[in-house]
Chains A and B, each alone.
Chain A
């Protein structure tokens, strides 16, 4: 899913970079309002979590595994704006230091995975929450479906980018079948892990789940809790 250098032409990559920069700029303003001066340490630690979670391989079947993209997971846990920023920062470090996704394609990758993956996925989550009954288990169901949709959405965005500025003349029908088809499967893994992780957090600290704030808060919710260990 991480697009390397040379896959999409320079013009399309730069255009995506401009769109992504605008999107992350907007996310920054909204996140700053939501998190105030807690933003740097909290969003930073959550970004470190996304970074680590991407290293977490989940089994698909014996021998094969996929890794988490984490866009919807981050958005449901800490809110769409902070979630998009966390994913974008992870992509930035991966592009500069690890060439995991080309530096010239950073705009494309941020657009697909941070803006469409986290923000777009969160829109799907919100719509589902509005449609589904207002109960705790439904948060998990909505997160699962939104996680699947976000992976497919990112692959659709890749298809559109390839159609506009892709190289190699692969028939668009074949690109569509291959990318969207494969990602519809990968999305199942993303959905299962996202749902189970959200339900694990809901079981212990439901007050931390941004996407469930409208439900009745448990005791001790809101505000930072002072813990004993350092």
Chain B
């Protein structure tokens, strides 16, 4: 195969990197431990598990977004052949409550419907067909109530309140410096309002879980999820059980992206209630349409900006006001808003900052966790505004960013936090620009008058790794390491594999620290009875938090292993080194004994060969009132540059290439790291241009992959990657998370590239063809044909139902 062709379509990473070496597997490309079973089709997802006598669950849900529930007629549902239970709120043994941070969300509706997809009743039957048929026959007696579908309107006086206390859930702020003074100093000021649409996770495996009851005393839940400890708490609450009586085992999980952070607690609570009522195992697999309708989404937001700079391009002030559409329940919305709020300014030095982030209830789709967690929306807005400033200043957008990014000398963020470690914003900008050929592209006189136009744009992000200060109590992790008598190693961590490569990362870290081949290390998915609560697998914290807990466990294991090795080697315990599957004497590498022999000797002597490990993040100062302080422990920076072609007649966008420079600290597993970046870019591109949540009075009008279009192999751009490695990050071997920084800048880079190609500003995401055509206005090639009215029509079609 000619290499040129391969590179063109396959987008080979620029840095081939080492395979696993004598220095250990760190940073190599050894096989992922889960790959062979998955590729052979032998990995058992929840839908592949069945038990004798197992029942199938189905949900009866609301078709309307706002109503009073006067009653339920269940006789027809109960009469369906094969149905064993039809349950309502009154049948829940514990609390009818599944809110993850705030108790505003019942598992089953008692009297008030607040969103399409709210559950009325649970069904268990001997076949899935019977269960869903019965669910369809549940007849709710509804008195429809007025609904609100615009988050801004929801905050106005007189809007119909969803809950007691009104629709404003909370406002977060950052207040720093003297905006009035700085505004007077600014030579250019950009004001904008950005309408940023949400996103569906579109994990390929729908939500699924299986409950196995033991009398009415204990229960095992096997579930596709990111956060088994969330599920454990939710199930314990609805069943009225102590946490220790609820065992949650994470099944292999077919994609998460945040969509399996908070939401899986709901289906798990459903099957748990059915399993307790029937005494039988119960499995639920959501049909795709219901999954897309009822599960959480990336938040739809409106962001208003007023940013100013002096004539040299130095930012003077930034004012940001964001309204987030939480949907009908808080879920994780306040936590998402906390991150959006802290991320609003990006990696820039701004003397005066005012940020306000409001979270509003509406009767729309349920907002929740999604890769980036509020940061992608505010980053999109910030990067759009930076390009607008550059155009006003007639300055190269790359140069404007270079002049304003944080660096080693000026490292204080918009929240007043001094960044730890090397600050690599300029490095990422320059590396991405070199990879993309930024200067050459801009120097080339682009033939940008024809129907197909080319453009290039930048997206830059400063991502706070791990949990926000507000979630610090959850920011700890647990690991268990067992050295088997044959020298193989069992590792358990409390963080989950959902495709991102946490098993590979944990395996690599354990193998590196024990000096053994990764192939002898088996990492098993978590189960709440085998490891401590490690918080959620989110915030790009998986490899970091599991890695540090594993290193702690291995440190403790070595207090027992090293003396045995030392005896076999005839040296002191503090002289033992582990590498290349051998224990050796420091300074005398020829004196060795296989690690496996040490393991066997430990077993023979009945020495404890199991160790636990723990890690918690360092406490930080942060003032939630002013937003000032250290919201995050440390940060990762990423710059992506997109090159696009835009058909200006049809408004179609083709993303040709994305060049990505990522500050990852230290690479743990190179294929997994690249896979995160490549996948994040394509998911971010989908959000940027094609993935539109079309709402019809709170109902998702396009709940299918035909109508909600995620990128295919034919849409994928060429991706070039360069990693900026550095010393000093606090993660395992200095690694930083990459899962979310991979997605966050993409949509911004695409937006800026499209605007560069067309010479217009587009302040609405996604950039669907009608949005692009509408933005061109009288610059559209056929503007003379398209009357004002018809362009309005395009606009209306693009946004129909956003406001109901």
Judge: A and B partners, yes or no: no
Which residue numbers of A lie inside 8 Å of B, CB to CB? none
